[in-house]
Chain A
Amino acid sequence: MYDSGKIISGLIIFLIIATAPIWYTAASGGTTKGPEPEIITTEKQCVRDTDYMRHDHMELLNEWRDQVVRGDDRVYTTASGRKFEKSLSNTCMSCHPNKSEFCDRCHNYMGVDPYCWSCHIEPKGGSR
């Protein structure tokens, strides 16, 4: 093999550069844990259970949107029989007014950019 020294050292340098982000995070004490949205409400129970909300809140919001706008069907009854208005701004955000610590943390981590907020209004003074 010609120039084996150069090739192998080149490969090693390439591998170090390519995996640098991993080493950097490990060395700087960074974490590979997921995002931790901050829940500041005193309510004990969301309209659905935490697992469902974590994975499928966007489905629920889409359903609510269609039912309210197209079906004039505005009242959501939870499994325990409580009634809520199907509304992102008035119901969801009344418990979670801290959009930047609640919505944005996961959305930024996942790299998604929902366009809810180009029309719906973020509660004022919700973020700390």
Chain B
Amino acid sequence: MKVRRRTFIKAAGLTALSVAGGKAVAQRYDAESWLSTGGLKAKRWAMVIDLRKCNEQHGCTDCINACHHTHNVPKFEDRKHEIKWVWKDSFEHAFIEQENEHIPEELKRSHVLMLCNHCDNPPCVSVCPTQSTWKREEDGIVMMDWHRCIGCRYCVVACPYGSRSFNWVDPREHISEINPDFPTRTKGVVEKCTFCEERLAKGKLPACVEACRKRFAGGEDTTPALIFGDLEDPNSEVRQLLKANFTIRRKPGLGTEPEVYYIV
């Protein structure tokens, strides 16, 4: 009996990535099953953000809220202290190389969701003197080891996307509701999005993607604005979307090879 169940869960894990629009993928795992089956695996994690869909949900911040709650990201009134994992900014700030003046009005006014691009060629990694940030060879995630960060902030300067934030003060007092399952950071440490590697390891999709799925689950079109998957798998949802749509990336001319793609 045990083997059968295990086979089922393994199959469920594999389909989790390949089945498009599969609802509540994470629920197929029970709380402890990842201990024996392992989590979600890919050769190259990547994300596609459908800006058209995202902007249809005027002012939605579900993904940001989910991420910041899951990872105990503090909220500061003073923008000098701001800590960002996922955030929104104007189109012209996000895509400074797209300088065409007469683009569609709705695009000009749109808000672009941004996060760490988990670059194939990450400049933050080359400058880190303690290797507290590095690119995971098996799936391309640009990781952080907060135990090792000495707070030199070279990576903050090196990242061309503003994806890294430094804790100038103790963040604990600025977290409204602490999630006990995830650590906070401490003063003097840099932090950023990790593509929810701790959730992937337990068979769950990233918190932002899950929140976006929930948002779209009730509607006519259940395909969410955030799609996450394996770029090396030609049958994955991200590859299908990249094939079917024209996508842009932030500052591609720098050669960092960002792995977050935008459908405009």
Contact = CB atoms under 8 A, between A and B. Distances in A.
A69 to B, nearest CB: 5
Interface in B88-142: 136, 138
Given A83-B35, A119-B185, A69 B147 contact: yes
B27 interface: no
Interface of B: 35-36, 136, 138, 143, 145-147, 178, 180-181, 183-186, 197, 201
A77 B80 CA distance: 45
Contact of B147 (A65, A89, A121, A124): A65
B186 A72 contact: no
Q: Is the interface of B mostly helix, strand, loop or mixed?
A: loop
Contact of B183 (A70, A72, A75, A119): A119
Contacts, number: 34
- Give me the 10 closest cross-chain CB pairs, A-B, nearest first: A119-B183, A118-B186, A83-B35, A120-B183, A121-B180, A69-B145, A119-B186, A75-B35, A119-B184, A74-B201
A123 interface: yes
A70 B138 CA distance: 12
Q: Is the interface of A mostly helix, strand, loop or mixed?
A: mixed
Given A75-B35, A90-B181, A119-B186, 7 more contacts: A70-B145, A72-B201, A83-B35, A83-B36, A85-B35, A119-B183, A121-B178
Give chain A's interface residue range (CB within 8 Å of chain B).
10 to 19
Contacts of A120: 183
12 contacts: A65-B147, A69-B143, A83-B35, A84-B35, A89-B180, A89-B181, A90-B181, A118-B186, A119-B146, A119-B183, A121-B183, A124-B180
A74 B200 CA distance: 12
A118 B146 CA distance: 12
Contacts of A84: 35
Interface in A107-125: 115, 118-121, 123-124
B136 A72 contact: yes
Interface string A57-81: 0000000010001101011000000
A89 B136 CA distance: 24
B33 to A, nearest CB: 11
A65 B180 CA distance: 17
A72 B35 contact: no
A72 B197 CA distance: 9
Contacts of B36: 83
A14 B10 CA distance: 75
Contacts of A72: 136, 138, 197, 201
Nearest to B139: A72
Most A CB contacts (10 A, CB to CB) among B143, B147, B178 go to: B147
Most B CB contacts (10 A, CB to CB) among A70, A84, A90, A119 go to: A119
